[in-house]
Amino acid sequence: MSKRIRYAVIGMGHIAQVAVLPAFAHAKRNSELTALVSDDTTKRHKLGRKYQVEQTYTYDEYDQCLQQVDAVYIALPNSMHAEYTVRAAKAGVHVLCEKPMAVTASECQKMVKACRDHGVKLMIGYRLHFEEINLDVMDLIRKGRIGRPRYFNSSFSMTVRPGNIRTKSDMGGGTLYDIGIYCINAARYLFGGEPIEVQAMSVNSGVRKLSEIDESTGALMRFENDRVAAFVTSFNAADMASYVVVGEKGHVRVDPAYEYAEGLKYELDIDGRKTKKTIGKRDQFAPELIYFSDCILRDKMPEPSGEEGMQDVRIIEALYESARSGKAVRIPQFSDRRPAIMQKMRKPGVRKPKLVHAVSSSVD
């Protein structure tokens, strides 16, 4: 295999245009943008010309595209992740898939099995596993700076744009799939453990654009060793993306916490003594590409793995089940957990490009 992994980006929506495609400029040490896949002729033409990509394909030509690349970055609606991952695996092509991994744990299992059976790597795009502020907070907690962590609390909300795919139930829409997954994954890696029971309540005020999904959901997760995580997600509230971890000696707050379009910061408070750190906007997607390409070239198992992605989907399904039933739901023991990587990569922020037939998910 060449020293550069040849990628096709599948899906030319907002996330692909503002983050994934520009990231290849910062990942060219071992990653090369080789092909684009979209059914939009204008997107294929304009984006192909902008990024000097000659090979562009429709979705009907996906199998043909797979013959020309080593890996795919799947940036499709959630409901399409499983199919396009399995097809890539059967063609011997490695897969970097956006989160959530899929809509159901059953779909996730099929993805993991297909990649394992065909000897290809599968990684889920948890960009914050490479991000400096979140990794610093993880390090502070592991070193005992706040004492043993006792609880996690998070808020993540935005005012979603009418008609956005996040509002479509048949496309895997819903607040937990889109933004709740950040809160779930953050609690898991900051606690270094797994929830054993979850409970949730979803509400909908009758807003037409959110009629197919939960408008807001409040979630509670009980972890091993008597720790608790709580969070609220909403598609009909002002922008908010923060979390706090409270321990026996102090707490650390990250606000903003989950964003890629702006800088992040944390504040550590121990007995009233505060320490702050702020970083400017960084490219959070290039590190994913560089790391995944290294895993392919060196034949290493990537993390976050498919098993990691499947666990978050399993928890999301349990939370929605709890919201429907009004009862707490037990989470099966997760035996495939691997330590989160501590791999910081600093890449300069990307200036927002001119979009082609794409808009952001939130109302500005």
pLDDT number for residue 353? 80
pLDDT at 118 over 60: yes
Mean pLDDT in residue range 228-257? 97
Q: Which residues of 40-73 are buried (b: 16+ CB within 10 A; e: fewer)?
A: eeebbeebbeeeebebbbeeeebeebbeebbbbb
In the chain, pLDDT over 70 holds for what percent of residues?
95
Residue tagged active-site, from 182, 258, 291, 320: 182
Residue 334 tokens read as 């997760």
Please say whether the beta carbons of 146 and 252 come within 8 A. yes
DSSP state of 343: -
Question: How many CB atoms sit inside 10 A of residue 360's CB?
Answer: 16
User: Do 105 and 147 fall within a single domain?
Assistant: no
User: Do 184 and 114 fall within a single domain?
Assistant: no
Residue 236 lies in a domain: yes
User: Do 251 and 143 fall within a single domain?
Assistant: yes
Mean pLDDT in residue range 220-237? 97
Residue tagged active-site, from 7, 73, 84, 99: 99
Give dist(CA 231, CA 233) in Å, integer. 7
**CATH number for position 69:** 3.40.50.720
- Residue (of 121, 129, 130, 179) closest to 154 by Cα position: 179
Tokens 């992040």, residue located: 264
3-class DSSP state for residue 238?
A: strand
The whole-chain average pLDDT of the chain stands at 94
Instruction: Specify whether 62 is catalytic.
Output: no
User: Do 110 and 136 fall within a single domain?
Assistant: no
Residue 81 lies in a domain: yes
pLDDT digits (tens, 9 = 90+) for 256-289: 999 998 899 999 999 999 999 999 999 999 999 9
pLDDT at 294 over 80: yes
Count of the separate structural domains present in the chain: 2
Residue 356 lies in a domain: no
Instruction: Specify whether 182 is catalytic.
Output: yes
User: Do 163 and 58 fall within a single domain?
Assistant: no
pLDDT digits (tens, 9 = 90+) for 328-339: 999 988 876 666
233 φ, ψ (degrees, to nearest 5): -120, 150
User: Do 84 and 43 fall within a single domain?
Assistant: yes
Q: Dihedral angle at the C-alpha atoms of 157, 159, 163, 166, nearest 10 degrees?
A: -10
User: Do 199 and 248 fall within a single domain?
Assistant: yes
Residue 195 lies in a domain: yes
Domain extent at residue 37: 5-127+285-302
Q: Which residues are bridge partners to 351 per DSSP? A: none
User: Do 167 and 256 fall within a single domain?
Assistant: yes
Question: What is the H or E stretch that residue 292 is in?
Answer: helix 286-298
Please say whether the beta carbons of 153 and 114 come within 8 A. no
User: Do 116 and 153 fall within a single domain?
Assistant: no
User: Do 147 and 112 fall within a single domain?
Assistant: no
pLDDT number for residue 34? 98
pLDDT number for residue 352? 72
User: Do 176 and 69 fall within a single domain?
Assistant: no
